[in-house]
Amino acid sequence: MVSEHATQVLRELGVLQREMENVGLWSDLSPSDEAMMSSQPFCCDTMSFTNWLQWIFVPRMRYMVEANAQLPSKSAMYPMAAEALVDMQDESKGILDSVKRLDMLLSA
């Protein structure tokens, strides 16, 4: 059985996906296998932050919820998101708000 907390995380992941789709940042093309294997935080050496959200973070969190696995107890993605989306301030508000809510949910 999925906890209320996990359900909230799953719901917010859906919000994040829709916000990214709304501004054209949800891609049909996945990064290369090599890019996906990066050991750097946010795969910052091989892909954009929004690609990391789409191809690493969102699927991993969905898998963890579905597997009833322990979710992270701390998250601080917002500063990276704000920096990565600095040139899209108006369009990225929904994404940034969603990332902030995920940080709060995962740090509760």
**pLDDT tens string 69-107:** 999 999 999 999 999 999 998 899 999 999 999 999 999
Contact indicator for 69, 1 with CB cutoff of 8 Å: no
What is the number of structural domains in the chain? 1
Share of the chain above pLDDT 70, in %: 99
Q: Which CATH number goes with the domain that contains 96?
A: 1.20.1440.40
Contact indicator for 95, 19 with CB cutoff of 8 Å: yes
How many Cβ atoms from other residues are within 10 Å of residue 74's Cβ?
8
> Can you give the residue range of the structural domain that contains 73?
4-27+36-106
User: How much is the pLDDT for 2?
Assistant: 80
Is residue 21's pLDDT more than 80? yes
Contact indicator for 96, 82 with CB cutoff of 8 Å: yes
Is residue 43's pLDDT more than 90? yes
Share of the chain above pLDDT 90, in %: 93
The pLDDT of 5-30, averaged and rounded, is 97
